[in-house]
């Protein structure tokens, strides 16, 4: 082992194993002479950088949009003690300790380790950094065995019509006071009828809309294998199309608002109205379940939701009704009056 210090702080540690003591002594003397040369120490440090530096390079050189959640997770890993460790020193034990220290839900720990694994997967083959792929693989196995990680718990929470009445009335009052506020009535209803995720709704542009085909291009559709660049045409049920056509065409995006603002507004409203354990994402669950309750086949539902497999869709089959409970839903007329949708459907009125 060679360990160099500067100012009382260890700046480089290198280890190598030999069958004979003489061979180890020879390597040590040779390596010490090499490290004494100008610039040699800096080069050695670059070859075995801190994990935080590897993460920075990964973010800097990636041509894919990493995404907000992954960026946040990688930032947290950098700030943790493991981020200050040199690559060669990170073993499965250190990764397991990091996982146990997070203090979050097991499914969230699993997400952290999955994002960390993407760094390990590229560090050695792309840049020659000594991050051991076996270490992260072993750590993930250990974390699973210990219960530190687990799969996400599938939610089956669906809003009642009474809860939706409360929300719609509340959002309507806010909109009446501030006409430039986030159109939460339209967004909440669109999440139900289109089954779109929040970030997908906020990305859709008028150019993504195929009105004649009653469908919309969803960019970067979430998928376990590939999210970025996964662009999929998704069918729009009539109610979803009606809501879109009722929106003003002042900007490129159909809903020109930030997903953070929408999420915060929904959370505040549910808390204010004392609606327990209801998330905006539950509207997607409601929408997909509604389609099954209406008697649509798996392929037709998948054409709306964008799911590729029955395995992913079957969580929406906890059916509670028969038929469409939104027939005659009064809020659709409030959000998207038929005459307004018809007027905006005229191509001459497009921007």
Q: Please write the tens of the pLDDT for every residue from 175-204.
A: 999 988 999 999 999 999 999 999 999 999
How far is 142 from 50, CA to CA, in rounded Å? 24
Least confident of 181-195, 218-232, 311-325: 218-232
What is the per-residue pLDDT for 351?
41
As a whole number, mean pLDDT of residues 269-277 equals 95
Portion of the chain with pLDDT greater than 70, in percent: 91
Radius of gyration of the chain from Cα atoms?
27
Query: Rounded to two decimals, what is the model's pTM?
Result: 0.65
pLDDT surpasses 90 at 96: yes
Total residues found in the chain within this entry: 351
On whether the CB atoms of residues 133 and 177 are closer than 8 A, the answer is no
Phi, psi torsion values for 285, nearest 5 degrees: -60, -40
Q: Please report which helix (H) or strand (E) contains residue 333, including its range.
A: helix 330-335
Residue 263, pLDDT above cutoff 70:
yes
Q: Which of 186, 212, 169, 214 is nearest to 336 (CA)?
A: 186
Using alpha carbons only, give the angle 104, 107, 108 rounded to the nearest 5 degrees.
Answer: 45
């Amino acid at each position: 082992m060679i360990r160099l210090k500067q100012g009382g702080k260890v700046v480089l540690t290198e280890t190598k194993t030999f069958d004979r003591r003489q061979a180890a002594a020879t390597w040590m003397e040779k390596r010490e002479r090499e490290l004494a040369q100008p610039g040699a120490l800096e080069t050695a440090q670059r070859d075995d950088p801190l994990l935080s530096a590897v993460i920075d390079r990964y973010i800097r050189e990636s041509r894919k949009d990493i995404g907000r959640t992954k960026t946040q997770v990688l930032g947290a890993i950098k700030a943790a003690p493991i981020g200050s460790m040199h690559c060669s020193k990170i073993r499965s034990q250190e990764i397991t300790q990091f996982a146990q220290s997070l203090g979050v839900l097991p499914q969230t720990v699993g997400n952290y380790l999955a994002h960390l694994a993407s760094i390990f997967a590229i560090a050695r083959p792309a840049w020659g950094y000594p991050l051991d792929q076996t270490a992260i693989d072993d750590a993930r196995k250990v974390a699973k065995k210990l219960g530190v990680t687990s799969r996400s718990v599938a939610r089956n929470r669906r809003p009642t019509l009474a809860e939706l009445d409360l929300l719609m009335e509340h959002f309507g009052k806010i909109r009446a006071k501030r006409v430039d506020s986030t159109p939460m009535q339209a967004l909440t209803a669109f999440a139900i009828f289109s089954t779109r995720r929040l970030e997908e709704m906020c990305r859709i542009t008028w150019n993504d809309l195929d009105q004649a085909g009653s469908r919309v291009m969803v960019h970067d559709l979430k998928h376990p294998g590939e999210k970025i660049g996964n662009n999929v045409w998704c069918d729009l049920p009539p109610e979803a199309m009606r809501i879109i056509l009722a929106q003003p065409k002042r900007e490129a995006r159909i809903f020109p608002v930030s997903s953070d603002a929408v999420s915060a507004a929904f959370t505040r409203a549910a808390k204010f109205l004392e609606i327990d354990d209801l998330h905006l994402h539950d509207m997607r669950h409601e929408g997909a379940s509604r389609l099954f309750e209406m008697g649509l086949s798996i392929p037709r539902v998948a054409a709306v939701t964008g799911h590729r497999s029955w395995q992913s869709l079957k969580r929406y089959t906890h059916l509670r009704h028969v038929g469409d409970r939104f027939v005659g839903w009064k809020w659709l007329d409030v959000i998207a009056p038929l005459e307004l949708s018809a007027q905006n459907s005229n191509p001459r009125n497009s921007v």
